[in-house]
Chain A
């Protein structure tokens, strides 16, 4: 499980990359990062991943950490970061 501070910081990064035009009306940690949610494409997701790397001072393993599941929602990404930085 991700702690609240990680969740908030990831949420802020996602909101910044998505920009006001793509921000869902009532975003939750379960809002999809892609279609039907923030509508982030692959380049946006790269921006999110790199921003998280810098924010949390860690790096991701491409095979283990960046699965379809971990890049699904703010919460799943925050969970991955929490697991990596614990």
Chain B
């Protein structure tokens, strides 16, 4: 049963898009949750939550799509990665449970104690979910031990200094996304405070990007193969160069009170470029360093069946998701003035 060569490549592209969509969309939701740590004013907290309340569910759905795609399209990756990453995955799911219900529960809590509890759940759930996603990413990059199509490592293989550092990096990065989202979608005191926290967060994020970029090739020599070979170097060189350019633009925009959207777009750009860089490094593996996308693929009958739907449905989903964002456009906290 030989698979056409292009089908797994197409699916790797869609899967990567799904993961990226999740990271950038739920990233700012989670980041905003973490910023509860520095924002105690209950009115500001309500505004923060309401900037994402109508859309967070759709954002999280990309994570479900990611799981379902892996399950249906790369089942071998699904069935080796999930046992290998069992503890952080379960921790992430439990954290997302607290975060998700807190959206509704905190508004409907019947006492101020209950409300504080769900605010805490929202903040901690967001933080743990972000940190575990980083740890999962780090554990994937450092490599998963596979033998005879089964996970062959131990219970705590995922726990290393590198994976913990990735956890920290993603947490800080999401918090930065959340802060920039607030700069865009809020105004007044809250916006000023978001601008204030964005600056140190951005500085730490940049340091993290540099450290992870240098640390990654040290884990698997092969990751360097697309970066240090002429002339392939030419194709990948724009990635670090663009990151540098966006850093400069970000720094001017964050200090400029008239720029509301630019910082957010810059940080989205960083995430996009880091993700692209990561993709270049691990290509064509899906479970480094043993399983590539062709080995992990389900039969062509499965991949083509789902591809037909994905080609039509994913653009449709993007269209009405854009509509939902458009319906709730504008600064939150100002709608009444429109009437």
Same complex origin of A and B: no
Which residues of A line the B interface, CB within 8 A?
A: none
